[in-house]
Amino acid sequence: MYTQLQLRGSARPPVTVATLQKMKADGEKIASITCYDASFAALVDEADADLVLVGDSLGMVVQGHDTTVPVTLDNIIYHSRAVARGLSRPFLMADMPFMTYTSREKALDNAMRLMQDGGAKMVKLEGGAGQVGIVEFLASHDIAVCAHLGLRPQSVHKTGGFRVQGRENAVADQMHRDAKALQDAGADIVLLECIPAELGKEITAELHVPVIGIGAGPDTDGQILVLYDVLDITPGRKPRFVQNFMVGQESPLAGVKAYVQAVKSRAYPAAEHCF
Ligand code: KIV
């Protein structure tokens, strides 16, 4: 019944927002990965990932769409529920899909469903200054939130594709302001996707909440990759920041362990993965 209390003193206590904050303060890198089902959830747990995301990337790597736009709330709930069953130690975050947070009330109802029906402990939404009010509203209801900046896949039809963001000074300056505003609004984590490494470093240093990067250089507080990219399952051309961790490994578990170790030891990302 009092599982949280019982596990607190164990060798592998469950990761919480406080754990992630302490990891930032201690300079311990946060190893994060996406996951979409219970079998892989048990595997990423055993590999000692700290943070697991049921990402709307499932629209691309599981459903075969060319963007994340078609993913629905029910899709994320279905996968999140399965992942939650397989996890014990990592902190579980679930994506709020396209157009599921267009108003405060809608965001609150949908975040509630991700937590109550999907078993998520934190919700992630994409956006900058426009989402500050939404993040503030969710945080005021004690919902843990991750704010996703930089390349925002739900906006690719507006922004012009999967491209590095923040190379221009004006865009970089806006990203600094957005990250700070989202933190001040109550975001517990900021996630930066596909931005110059220097910008990732600066924003990480400016924020007191943990910053997780994907293609954002080596200096963010943690890294996240899509599980299928780590295991080299995704067909076709891969983004520059992807590394195949199956090289020299004999099993998917060994591959995910290699990824977690590479993040912890700062071997990943290397210069060739950065913008
Ligand atoms: O949906 C997803 O997998 C993500 C990661 C790429 C961070 O948002």
Task: Tell me the best of 224, 225, 233 to mutate to test the pocket of ligand 1, counting ligand atoms within 8 Å of each CB and taking the most.
Answer: 224
pLDDT of residue 30: 98
Task: Tell me the best of 44, 57, 76 to mutate to test the pocket of ligand 1, counting ligand atoms within 8 Å of each CB and taking the most.
Answer: 57
Residue 136 annotated to the active site? no
The candidate with the shortest Cα–Cα distance to 36, out of 86, 73, 72, is: 86
- Mean residue pLDDT of the chain comes to 96
Q: What six digits make up the tokens of 166?
A: 């923040």
Residue 13 contacts by C-beta under 8 Å, 6 or more apart in sequence?
7, 19, 89
Residue range of the domain that includes 236: 3-273
198 alpha carbon – ligand 1 mean position (Å): 21
The candidate with the shortest Cα–Cα distance to 241, out of 265, 271, 211, is: 271
Residue 93 forms beta bridges with which residues?
Answer: 53, 122
Residue 220 is given by DSSP the state S
Number of domains in the chain: 1
Burial (Cβ within 10 Å: 0-12, 13-18, ≥19) of residue 155: middle
C-alpha span between 174 and 129 (Å, rounded)? 9
**Total-model pTM:** 0.97
pLDDT tens readout for residues 160-201: 888 999 999 999 999 999 999 999 999 999 999 999 999 999
pLDDT of residue 5: 75
How does residue 133 score in pLDDT terms, banded at 50, 70 and 90?
A: very high
- Lowest average pLDDT, out of 36-45, 102-111, 219-228, 234-243, goes to 234-243
The candidate with the shortest Cα–Cα distance to 115, out of 72, 54, 49, is: 54
* Annotated catalytic residue within 105, 136, 193, 198: 193
The candidate with the shortest Cα–Cα distance to 153, out of 204, 193, 123, 93, is: 193
Number of Cβ within 10 Å of residue 36's Cβ equals 25
Instruction: Classify 16 as helix, strand or coil.
Output: coil
The candidate with the shortest Cα–Cα distance to 137, out of 112, 107, 110, 113, is: 107
Q: What six digits make up the tokens of 172?
A: 């970089």
What φ, ψ does residue 124 adopt, rounded to 5°?
A: -120, 135
Strands 189-193 and 51-54, by their bridges, are unpaired
CATH number at residue 13: 3.20.20.60
**Are 94 and 120 spatial neighbours (Cβ–Cβ below 8 Å)?**
yes
